[in-house]
Amino acid sequence: MIFQFLLLLFVTTVWTDSDSDCDICEICEAGGLMDSTECCLSSVLYKICESKLEISRDKRRGLIGKRRGLIGKRRGLIGKRRGLIGKRRGLIGKRRGLIGKRRGLIGKRQLLNSKQSIFQDEY
C-alpha cells in the first residue's frame, strides 16, 4: 500500500505530460469497449488519468455531478448506464435543487408530477 502511494507520487511528479495516454483512457471509458482499468497500461497511469478526468467533469457538471461520477465509477458498467439516466435527471435536478434530486431518485411518478412546475419556472 505504501509502495503504491510512493510510486504514484513519483509518477505524478516526473511524468506530468501524459495527455495522450489519458485521451486513450477517456475514449475507452466513454465508448464502453472495456473497463478503464483494463484500458490503461498500468493502475498508476489510470489514477493520473482519473484525476485529470475528474477535474474536467467537475467543470462541466458541478460538484453534485462530481459526487455522482465517483459513485458511478465504483459501480462499473452498471454505473455508466445509470449515469446516462442520471444526466437527464441531473438537468432537472439543477433547476429544482437538492430536494428535487432526491425526488427524482425515489420514483418516476413524482418526477413526472413535478415536471409541470419545472417548465412553469422556465417560462
Q: Length of the chain, please?
A: 123
59 and 2 in a common domain: yes
Domain residues for 17?
A: 1-64
Q: At residue 79, does pLDDT exceed 50?
A: no
Residue 89, CA atoms < 13 Å, CB-side half-sphere: 21
Q: Could you tell me if 89 and 107 are in contact, meaning their C-beta atoms sit under 8 angstroms apart?
A: no
Average pLDDT over residues 74-98: 50
Residue 91 has phi, psi (to 5 degrees) of -65, -40
46 and 1 in a common domain: yes
Q: What percent of the chain has pLDDT over 70?
A: 0
Domain count across the chain? 2
The per-residue pLDDT for 28 is 53
Is 69 a domain residue? Answer: no
Mean pLDDT of the chain: 52
Let me know the angle formed at the C-alpha of 60 by 15 and 118, rounded to the nearest 5 degrees: 165
The per-residue pLDDT for 111 is 53
Convert the pLDDT of each residue in 30-50 to its tens digit. 544 445 445 555 555 556 666
Cα gap 111→92, rounded to integer Å: 9
Is 107 a domain residue? Answer: yes
